Amino acid sequence: MKLWEKSVQVNKDVESYTVGRDQEMDIYLAPYDVLGSMAHITMLESVGLLGKDELSILLAELKTIYKQTVSGDFTIEDGIEDVHSQVELMLTRKLGDTGKKIHSGRSRNDQVLVDLKLFTRDRIHMLVESVSKLIDVLLEQSNKYKDVLMPGYTHLQIAMPSSFGLWFGAYAESLVDDLQLLLAAYKVCNRNPLGSAAGYGSSFPLNRQMTTDLLGFDSMDYNVVYAQMGRGKMERTVAFAIAGIAGTLSKLSYDACMFNSQNFGFIKLPDEYTTGSSIMPHKKNPDVFELTRAKCNKLQALPTDITFIINNLPSGYFRDLQLIKELFIPSFEEMNDCLQMVARMMGEVKINEHILDDPKYLLIFSVEEVNRLVLEGVPFRDAYKQVGLEIENGNFVHDKTVHHTHEGSIGNLCNDHIDILRQQIVDQFEFEKVISAEKKLLGEI
Protein backbone atom coordinates (compact mmCIF):
# COMPACT_ATOMS: atom_id res chain seq x y z
CA MET A 1 0.00 0.00 0.00
CA LYS A 2 1.27 3.41 -0.99
CA LEU A 3 -0.60 6.58 -0.19
CA TRP A 4 0.25 7.98 -3.61
CA GLU A 5 -0.27 4.84 -5.72
CA LYS A 6 -2.97 4.98 -8.41
CA SER A 7 -3.17 2.63 -11.42
CA VAL A 8 0.50 2.03 -12.28
CA GLN A 9 2.65 -0.12 -10.02
CA VAL A 10 6.29 0.80 -9.49
CA ASN A 11 8.98 -1.62 -10.64
CA LYS A 12 9.91 -3.86 -7.69
CA ASP A 13 13.65 -3.17 -7.96
CA VAL A 14 13.01 0.57 -8.02
CA GLU A 15 10.70 0.23 -5.04
CA SER A 16 13.30 -1.70 -3.04
CA TYR A 17 16.02 0.80 -3.95
CA THR A 18 13.98 3.86 -3.02
CA VAL A 19 12.58 2.47 0.23
CA GLY A 20 16.02 1.35 1.44
CA ARG A 21 16.18 1.26 5.26
CA ASP A 22 13.27 3.67 5.63
CA GLN A 23 10.90 1.13 7.18
CA GLU A 24 13.53 0.20 9.76
CA MET A 25 14.00 3.86 10.70
CA ASP A 26 10.26 4.50 10.71
CA ILE A 27 9.76 2.08 13.60
CA TYR A 28 11.56 4.65 15.77
CA LEU A 29 9.15 7.32 14.54
CA ALA A 30 5.95 5.31 15.00
CA PRO A 31 4.79 6.65 18.40
CA TYR A 32 5.44 10.19 17.25
CA ASP A 33 3.56 9.65 14.01
CA VAL A 34 0.55 8.60 16.08
CA LEU A 35 0.85 11.65 18.35
CA GLY A 36 1.05 13.93 15.32
CA SER A 37 -2.02 12.29 13.81
CA MET A 38 -3.97 12.68 17.04
CA ALA A 39 -3.22 16.40 17.15
CA HIS A 40 -3.97 16.79 13.45
CA ILE A 41 -7.39 15.11 13.53
CA THR A 42 -8.34 16.99 16.70
CA MET A 43 -7.68 20.15 14.72
CA LEU A 44 -9.57 18.82 11.68
CA GLU A 45 -12.68 18.29 13.81
CA SER A 46 -12.41 21.85 15.15
CA VAL A 47 -12.54 23.28 11.61
CA GLY A 48 -15.35 21.03 10.42
CA LEU A 49 -13.41 18.46 8.40
CA LEU A 50 -14.28 15.62 10.78
CA GLY A 51 -17.39 14.89 12.81
CA LYS A 52 -17.26 14.60 16.59
CA ASP A 53 -18.18 10.92 16.45
CA GLU A 54 -15.49 10.31 13.84
CA LEU A 55 -12.89 12.08 15.96
CA SER A 56 -13.86 10.03 19.00
CA ILE A 57 -13.45 6.65 17.33
CA LEU A 58 -10.27 7.72 15.52
CA LEU A 59 -8.64 8.94 18.74
CA ALA A 60 -9.60 5.73 20.53
CA GLU A 61 -8.04 3.59 17.81
CA LEU A 62 -4.93 5.77 17.58
CA LYS A 63 -4.42 5.37 21.34
CA THR A 64 -4.51 1.61 20.83
CA ILE A 65 -1.93 1.87 18.05
CA TYR A 66 0.20 4.16 20.23
CA LYS A 67 0.33 1.52 22.95
CA GLN A 68 1.55 -0.97 20.35
CA THR A 69 4.30 1.39 19.23
CA VAL A 70 5.69 1.90 22.75
CA SER A 71 5.39 -1.78 23.71
CA GLY A 72 7.31 -2.93 20.64
CA ASP A 73 4.35 -4.72 19.06
CA PHE A 74 4.02 -2.33 16.13
CA THR A 75 5.37 -3.49 12.78
CA ILE A 76 5.31 -2.22 9.22
CA GLU A 77 3.93 -5.01 7.09
CA ASP A 78 5.51 -6.29 3.89
CA GLY A 79 4.48 -4.18 0.96
CA ILE A 80 3.64 -1.18 3.15
CA GLU A 81 5.86 1.74 2.28
CA ASP A 82 6.26 3.58 5.57
CA VAL A 83 4.90 4.25 9.04
CA HIS A 84 2.35 6.77 7.75
CA SER A 85 0.87 4.19 5.37
CA GLN A 86 0.84 1.51 8.07
CA VAL A 87 -1.05 3.66 10.58
CA GLU A 88 -3.60 4.74 7.98
CA LEU A 89 -4.04 1.13 6.84
CA MET A 90 -4.67 -0.03 10.41
CA LEU A 91 -7.26 2.69 10.90
CA THR A 92 -8.98 1.91 7.62
CA ARG A 93 -9.14 -1.81 8.36
CA LYS A 94 -10.80 -1.08 11.69
CA LEU A 95 -12.90 1.98 10.87
CA GLY A 96 -13.48 1.83 7.13
CA ASP A 97 -13.77 5.11 5.24
CA THR A 98 -13.36 7.13 8.43
CA GLY A 99 -9.75 5.96 8.59
CA LYS A 100 -9.11 7.46 5.15
CA LYS A 101 -9.96 10.96 6.36
CA ILE A 102 -6.97 11.58 8.61
CA HIS A 103 -4.68 12.79 5.82
CA SER A 104 -6.76 15.84 4.85
CA GLY A 105 -4.72 19.01 5.04
CA ARG A 106 -1.29 17.40 5.34
CA SER A 107 1.33 15.68 3.23
CA ARG A 108 3.82 12.99 4.09
CA ASN A 109 6.32 15.85 3.90
CA ASP A 110 5.03 17.72 6.93
CA GLN A 111 4.03 14.43 8.56
CA VAL A 112 7.60 13.14 8.60
CA LEU A 113 8.81 16.59 9.62
CA VAL A 114 6.64 16.58 12.72
CA ASP A 115 7.56 12.94 13.44
CA LEU A 116 11.25 13.78 13.34
CA LYS A 117 10.84 16.83 15.55
CA LEU A 118 8.81 14.95 18.16
CA PHE A 119 11.34 12.10 18.08
CA THR A 120 14.28 14.47 18.31
CA ARG A 121 13.03 16.51 21.25
CA ASP A 122 12.30 13.27 23.13
CA ARG A 123 15.81 11.99 22.45
CA ILE A 124 17.31 15.34 23.42
CA HIS A 125 15.50 14.98 26.75
CA MET A 126 17.19 11.59 27.14
CA LEU A 127 20.61 13.07 26.38
CA VAL A 128 20.12 15.99 28.77
CA GLU A 129 19.38 13.56 31.59
CA SER A 130 22.43 11.42 30.78
CA VAL A 131 24.75 14.42 30.42
CA SER A 132 23.44 15.78 33.71
CA LYS A 133 24.11 12.47 35.48
CA LEU A 134 27.67 12.41 34.16
CA ILE A 135 28.15 16.00 35.37
CA ASP A 136 26.99 14.85 38.82
CA VAL A 137 29.59 12.08 38.82
CA LEU A 138 32.38 14.39 37.69
CA LEU A 139 31.54 17.10 40.22
CA GLU A 140 31.35 14.53 43.01
CA GLN A 141 34.76 13.15 42.08
CA SER A 142 36.14 16.68 41.71
CA ASN A 143 35.06 17.57 45.24
CA LYS A 144 36.27 14.24 46.63
CA TYR A 145 39.77 14.61 45.19
CA LYS A 146 40.06 18.39 45.25
CA ASP A 147 43.27 18.30 47.31
CA VAL A 148 45.06 15.60 45.31
CA LEU A 149 47.67 17.18 43.07
CA MET A 150 48.69 15.93 39.64
CA PRO A 151 50.94 17.34 36.91
CA GLY A 152 49.48 19.72 34.38
CA TYR A 153 50.88 19.53 30.84
CA THR A 154 51.48 21.80 27.90
CA HIS A 155 52.94 20.26 24.73
CA LEU A 156 52.83 16.97 26.71
CA GLN A 157 55.64 18.39 28.83
CA ILE A 158 55.17 18.74 32.58
CA ALA A 159 54.15 22.36 33.11
CA MET A 160 52.45 23.40 36.36
CA PRO A 161 50.62 21.78 39.25
CA SER A 162 47.08 20.69 38.56
CA SER A 163 44.72 18.58 40.63
CA PHE A 164 42.16 15.86 40.20
CA GLY A 165 39.66 18.42 41.41
CA LEU A 166 40.50 20.53 38.37
CA TRP A 167 40.62 17.56 36.00
CA PHE A 168 37.23 16.13 36.89
CA GLY A 169 35.67 19.59 37.19
CA ALA A 170 36.98 20.72 33.82
CA TYR A 171 35.05 18.01 32.02
CA ALA A 172 31.95 18.77 34.08
CA GLU A 173 32.05 22.40 32.96
CA SER A 174 32.75 21.38 29.36
CA LEU A 175 29.57 19.31 29.43
CA VAL A 176 27.65 22.28 30.82
CA ASP A 177 28.70 24.27 27.74
CA ASP A 178 27.64 21.30 25.61
CA LEU A 179 24.21 21.50 27.26
CA GLN A 180 24.02 25.15 26.27
CA LEU A 181 24.53 24.22 22.62
CA LEU A 182 22.03 21.37 22.97
CA LEU A 183 19.50 23.87 24.36
CA ALA A 184 19.91 26.05 21.27
CA ALA A 185 19.41 23.00 19.04
CA TYR A 186 16.32 22.03 21.05
CA LYS A 187 14.82 25.47 20.49
CA VAL A 188 15.31 25.06 16.73
CA CYS A 189 13.74 21.60 16.91
CA ASN A 190 10.76 22.47 19.08
CA ARG A 191 8.78 24.37 16.44
CA ASN A 192 5.75 22.93 14.68
CA PRO A 193 5.92 22.22 10.90
CA LEU A 194 2.51 20.51 10.77
CA GLY A 195 0.13 22.20 8.33
CA SER A 196 2.86 23.17 5.89
CA ALA A 197 1.77 20.09 3.87
CA ALA A 198 4.07 19.55 0.88
CA GLY A 199 5.74 22.86 1.64
CA TYR A 200 3.15 25.23 0.24
CA GLY A 201 0.32 25.10 2.76
CA SER A 202 -3.27 24.02 2.21
CA SER A 203 -6.56 25.50 0.99
CA PHE A 204 -8.26 23.95 4.03
CA PRO A 205 -8.81 26.41 6.93
CA LEU A 206 -6.23 24.70 9.16
CA ASN A 207 -5.59 25.93 12.69
CA ARG A 208 -1.83 25.51 13.01
CA GLN A 209 -1.70 27.22 16.39
CA MET A 210 -3.99 24.53 17.75
CA THR A 211 -1.71 21.67 16.70
CA THR A 212 1.26 23.65 18.01
CA ASP A 213 -0.36 23.84 21.44
CA LEU A 214 -1.63 20.26 21.41
CA LEU A 215 1.87 18.90 20.73
CA GLY A 216 3.61 21.20 23.22
CA PHE A 217 5.74 23.04 20.68
CA ASP A 218 7.16 26.43 21.64
CA SER A 219 5.92 27.93 18.38
CA MET A 220 5.40 26.92 14.77
CA ASP A 221 7.62 27.13 11.72
CA TYR A 222 5.52 29.98 10.37
CA ASN A 223 6.47 30.14 6.71
CA VAL A 224 5.34 26.92 5.03
CA VAL A 225 8.20 26.96 2.53
CA TYR A 226 10.71 27.39 5.34
CA ALA A 227 9.08 24.55 7.28
CA GLN A 228 10.06 22.22 4.44
CA MET A 229 13.48 23.86 4.08
CA GLY A 230 14.03 22.97 7.74
CA ARG A 231 14.26 19.28 6.86
CA GLY A 232 17.92 18.44 7.18
CA LYS A 233 18.75 21.79 8.73
CA MET A 234 17.18 20.78 12.04
CA GLU A 235 19.02 17.46 12.00
CA ARG A 236 22.33 19.13 11.18
CA THR A 237 21.84 21.68 13.97
CA VAL A 238 21.13 18.94 16.51
CA ALA A 239 24.05 16.93 15.12
CA PHE A 240 26.39 19.81 15.94
CA ALA A 241 25.17 19.69 19.54
CA ILE A 242 25.69 15.91 19.67
CA ALA A 243 29.16 16.40 18.20
CA GLY A 244 29.96 18.87 20.98
CA ILE A 245 29.16 16.29 23.66
CA ALA A 246 31.07 13.66 21.70
CA GLY A 247 34.10 15.94 21.52
CA THR A 248 34.17 16.32 25.30
CA LEU A 249 33.86 12.56 25.85
CA SER A 250 36.51 11.80 23.24
CA LYS A 251 39.04 14.06 24.96
CA LEU A 252 38.16 12.60 28.37
CA SER A 253 38.58 9.10 26.97
CA TYR A 254 42.02 9.95 25.61
CA ASP A 255 43.06 11.31 29.01
CA ALA A 256 41.75 8.21 30.74
CA CYS A 257 43.62 5.85 28.39
CA MET A 258 46.83 7.83 28.79
CA PHE A 259 46.60 8.35 32.55
CA ASN A 260 45.79 4.65 33.04
CA SER A 261 48.96 3.53 31.26
CA GLN A 262 51.95 2.40 33.32
CA ASN A 263 54.06 5.29 32.03
CA PHE A 264 51.68 7.70 33.76
CA GLY A 265 49.98 5.65 36.47
CA PHE A 266 47.69 8.51 37.50
CA ILE A 267 44.51 6.46 37.60
CA LYS A 268 43.52 2.80 37.66
CA LEU A 269 40.41 1.43 36.03
CA PRO A 270 38.51 -1.31 37.86
CA ASP A 271 39.79 -4.70 36.69
CA GLU A 272 36.29 -5.80 35.72
CA TYR A 273 36.10 -2.86 33.28
CA THR A 274 39.26 -3.85 31.42
CA THR A 275 40.07 -6.63 28.96
CA GLY A 276 43.09 -8.88 28.49
CA SER A 277 45.40 -10.09 25.78
CA SER A 278 45.41 -13.50 24.12
CA ILE A 279 49.18 -13.88 24.61
CA MET A 280 50.19 -11.32 27.28
CA PRO A 281 48.85 -12.41 30.67
CA HIS A 282 49.58 -9.09 32.38
CA LYS A 283 47.45 -6.91 30.11
CA LYS A 284 44.48 -4.91 31.38
CA ASN A 285 43.36 -2.86 28.39
CA PRO A 286 41.11 0.24 28.61
CA ASP A 287 38.91 -0.96 25.75
CA VAL A 288 35.84 0.86 27.03
CA PHE A 289 37.53 4.24 26.75
CA GLU A 290 39.18 3.34 23.46
CA LEU A 291 35.84 2.37 21.92
CA THR A 292 34.19 5.44 23.45
CA ARG A 293 36.85 7.61 21.82
CA ALA A 294 36.22 5.96 18.45
CA LYS A 295 32.44 6.13 18.75
CA CYS A 296 32.59 9.79 19.75
CA ASN A 297 34.98 10.64 16.93
CA LYS A 298 32.51 9.04 14.53
CA LEU A 299 29.69 11.11 16.03
CA GLN A 300 31.72 14.27 15.51
CA ALA A 301 31.54 13.56 11.77
CA LEU A 302 27.73 13.51 11.85
CA PRO A 303 27.18 17.21 11.00
CA THR A 304 29.48 16.85 8.01
CA ASP A 305 27.74 13.69 6.81
CA ILE A 306 24.35 15.43 6.96
CA THR A 307 25.76 18.52 5.26
CA PHE A 308 26.97 16.44 2.34
CA ILE A 309 23.44 15.08 1.84
CA ILE A 310 21.60 18.42 2.00
CA ASN A 311 24.27 20.58 0.40
CA ASN A 312 23.26 22.41 -2.79
CA LEU A 313 19.61 21.33 -2.64
CA PRO A 314 17.22 24.12 -3.68
CA SER A 315 14.01 24.85 -1.76
CA GLY A 316 11.31 22.20 -1.82
CA TYR A 317 11.32 18.51 -0.97
CA PHE A 318 13.77 16.00 -2.44
CA ARG A 319 14.13 12.28 -1.76
CA ASP A 320 17.78 12.83 -0.82
CA LEU A 321 16.53 13.89 2.61
CA GLN A 322 15.31 10.37 3.37
CA LEU A 323 18.91 9.16 3.82
CA ILE A 324 19.49 11.52 6.73
CA LYS A 325 17.34 9.32 8.95
CA GLU A 326 19.79 6.43 8.65
CA LEU A 327 22.55 8.60 10.10
CA PHE A 328 20.58 10.77 12.48
CA ILE A 329 18.15 8.45 14.25
CA PRO A 330 20.72 5.91 15.58
CA SER A 331 23.08 8.67 16.75
CA PHE A 332 21.08 9.33 19.91
CA GLU A 333 21.40 5.79 21.25
CA GLU A 334 25.09 5.74 20.34
CA MET A 335 25.68 8.99 22.20
CA ASN A 336 23.61 7.90 25.17
CA ASP A 337 25.44 4.58 25.46
CA CYS A 338 28.74 6.45 25.60
CA LEU A 339 27.46 8.85 28.26
CA GLN A 340 26.18 6.07 30.48
CA MET A 341 29.32 3.98 30.19
CA VAL A 342 31.65 6.92 30.88
CA ALA A 343 29.57 7.85 33.94
CA ARG A 344 30.03 4.31 35.31
CA MET A 345 33.75 4.33 34.61
CA MET A 346 34.44 7.77 36.03
CA GLY A 347 32.47 6.96 39.16
CA GLU A 348 34.63 3.92 39.95
CA VAL A 349 38.07 4.98 38.74
CA LYS A 350 40.83 4.74 41.35
CA ILE A 351 43.08 7.76 41.88
CA ASN A 352 46.83 7.72 42.57
CA GLU A 353 47.15 10.17 45.43
CA HIS A 354 50.97 10.14 45.46
CA ILE A 355 51.92 11.05 41.92
CA LEU A 356 54.02 14.05 42.87
CA ASP A 357 56.16 12.04 45.30
CA ASP A 358 58.25 11.17 42.25
CA PRO A 359 61.12 13.71 42.02
CA LYS A 360 60.74 13.99 38.24
CA TYR A 361 57.75 16.24 38.86
CA LEU A 362 59.65 18.72 41.06
CA LEU A 363 60.10 21.28 38.29
CA ILE A 364 56.36 21.86 37.87
CA PHE A 365 56.63 23.98 41.02
CA SER A 366 59.00 26.47 39.37
CA VAL A 367 56.21 28.96 38.74
CA GLU A 368 55.11 28.62 42.37
CA GLU A 369 58.63 29.61 43.42
CA VAL A 370 58.74 32.54 40.99
CA ASN A 371 55.43 33.81 42.33
CA ARG A 372 56.62 33.41 45.94
CA LEU A 373 59.63 35.62 45.19
CA VAL A 374 57.44 38.21 43.48
CA LEU A 375 55.21 38.35 46.58
CA GLU A 376 58.37 39.06 48.58
CA GLY A 377 59.08 42.06 46.38
CA VAL A 378 61.39 40.65 43.70
CA PRO A 379 60.50 41.94 40.19
CA PHE A 380 58.91 39.18 38.14
CA ARG A 381 61.59 39.09 35.43
CA ASP A 382 64.37 38.88 38.05
CA ALA A 383 62.53 36.16 39.94
CA TYR A 384 62.03 34.21 36.70
CA LYS A 385 65.73 34.41 35.92
CA GLN A 386 66.76 33.44 39.44
CA VAL A 387 64.61 30.31 39.45
CA GLY A 388 65.72 29.45 35.92
CA LEU A 389 69.36 29.53 36.95
CA GLU A 390 68.63 27.37 40.00
CA ILE A 391 67.05 24.79 37.69
CA GLU A 392 70.03 24.90 35.29
CA ASN A 393 72.47 24.44 38.18
CA GLY A 394 70.46 21.62 39.77
CA ASN A 395 69.79 23.65 42.90
CA PHE A 396 66.02 24.06 42.63
CA VAL A 397 64.03 22.90 45.65
CA HIS A 398 60.39 23.31 46.64
CA ASP A 399 58.10 21.92 49.29
CA LYS A 400 55.53 20.89 46.67
CA THR A 401 52.69 22.93 48.08
CA VAL A 402 50.45 25.33 46.20
CA HIS A 403 48.52 28.38 47.30
CA HIS A 404 45.88 29.10 44.64
CA THR A 405 42.80 31.01 45.74
CA HIS A 406 41.33 32.74 42.69
CA GLU A 407 38.08 31.56 41.10
CA GLY A 408 38.44 28.30 39.24
CA SER A 409 41.88 27.46 40.59
CA ILE A 410 43.13 24.48 42.59
CA GLY A 411 42.04 26.02 45.88
CA ASN A 412 38.75 27.46 44.64
CA LEU A 413 37.16 25.09 42.13
CA CYS A 414 33.81 26.93 41.85
CA ASN A 415 32.04 23.60 41.43
CA ASP A 416 28.94 25.04 43.07
CA HIS A 417 28.78 27.72 40.37
CA ILE A 418 29.20 25.09 37.64
CA ASP A 419 26.32 23.14 39.17
CA ILE A 420 24.09 26.23 39.31
CA LEU A 421 24.88 27.07 35.68
CA ARG A 422 24.01 23.50 34.69
CA GLN A 423 20.65 23.71 36.44
CA GLN A 424 19.82 27.08 34.89
CA ILE A 425 20.37 25.62 31.43
CA VAL A 426 18.40 22.43 32.11
CA ASP A 427 15.45 24.44 33.41
CA GLN A 428 15.24 26.33 30.12
CA PHE A 429 14.36 23.16 28.20
CA GLU A 430 10.96 23.14 29.94
CA PHE A 431 10.50 19.43 29.38
CA GLU A 432 7.55 19.40 31.79
CA LYS A 433 5.52 21.44 29.30
CA VAL A 434 6.09 18.86 26.56
CA ILE A 435 5.36 15.89 28.83
CA SER A 436 2.14 17.50 30.00
CA ALA A 437 0.97 18.24 26.43
CA GLU A 438 1.61 14.68 25.26
CA LYS A 439 -0.10 13.13 28.28
CA LYS A 440 -3.11 15.40 27.77
CA LEU A 441 -3.29 14.42 24.10
CA LEU A 442 -3.21 10.74 25.09
CA GLY A 443 -5.90 11.30 27.71
CA GLU A 444 -3.57 10.41 30.57
CA ILE A 445 -4.27 13.65 32.47
13 exposure class (CB count in 10 Å sphere: 0-12, 13-18, 19+): exposed
The enclosing domain of 45 has a CATH number of 1.10.275.10
Same domain for 124 and 139?
yes
Is residue 210 included in any domain, yes or no?
Answer: no
pLDDT band at residue 24, thresholds of 50, 70 and 90? confident
* Structural domain ending residue among the three candidates 75, 101, 127: 101
Residue 276 has pLDDT above 90, yes or no: no
pLDDT band at residue 17, thresholds of 50, 70 and 90? low
Tell me which residue range forms the domain holding 21. 12-101
C-beta separation of 119 from 85 below 8 A: no
Same domain for 347 and 431?
yes
Same domain for 261 and 119?
yes
- Determine which helix (DSSP H) or strand (DSSP E) holds 34, and give its type and residue range: helix 22-46
Same domain for 350 and 287?
yes
Same domain for 131 and 224?
yes
Same domain for 269 and 317?
yes
Who wins on pLDDT, 326 or 282? 326
Is residue 5 included in any domain, yes or no?
Answer: no
Same domain for 67 and 183?
no
Is residue 155 included in any domain, yes or no?
Answer: no
Same domain for 257 and 339?
yes
Same domain for 190 and 313?
yes
Q: How many domains does the chain have?
A: 3
Is residue 7 included in any domain, yes or no?
Answer: no
Work out the average pLDDT over 352-358. 96
Is residue 126 included in any domain, yes or no?
Answer: yes
pLDDT digits (tens, 9 = 90+) for 387-397: 999 999 999 99
Is residue 443 included in any domain, yes or no?
Answer: no
Work out the average pLDDT over 35-41. 98
pLDDT digits (tens, 9 = 90+) for 40-94: 999 999 999 999 999 999 999 999 999 999 999 999 998 898 999 999 999 999 9
- Specify the pLDDT at position 241: 98
Work out the average pLDDT over 268-296. 87
Residue 202 has pLDDT above 70, yes or no: yes
Residue 22 has pLDDT above 80, yes or no: no
Same domain for 226 and 311?
yes
pLDDT digits (tens, 9 = 90+) for 136-174: 999 999 999 999 999 999 999 999 999 999 999 999 999
The whole-model pTM stands at 0.93
268 exposure class (CB count in 10 Å sphere: 0-12, 13-18, 19+): middle
Residue 419 has pLDDT above 80, yes or no: yes
pLDDT band at residue 279, thresholds of 50, 70 and 90? confident
Tell me the percentage of the chain whose pLDDT exceeds 70: 95
Residue 12 has pLDDT above 90, yes or no: no
Work out the average pLDDT over 3-8. 53
Residue 375 has pLDDT above 50, yes or no: yes
Is residue 157 included in any domain, yes or no?
Answer: no
The enclosing domain of 311 has a CATH number of 1.20.200.10
Same domain for 182 and 71?
no
- Specify the pLDDT at position 435: 97
Is residue 211 included in any domain, yes or no?
Answer: no
Q: Which of 169, 163, 168 is nearest to 151 (CA)?
A: 163
pLDDT band at residue 274, thresholds of 50, 70 and 90? confident
Same domain for 324 and 287?
yes
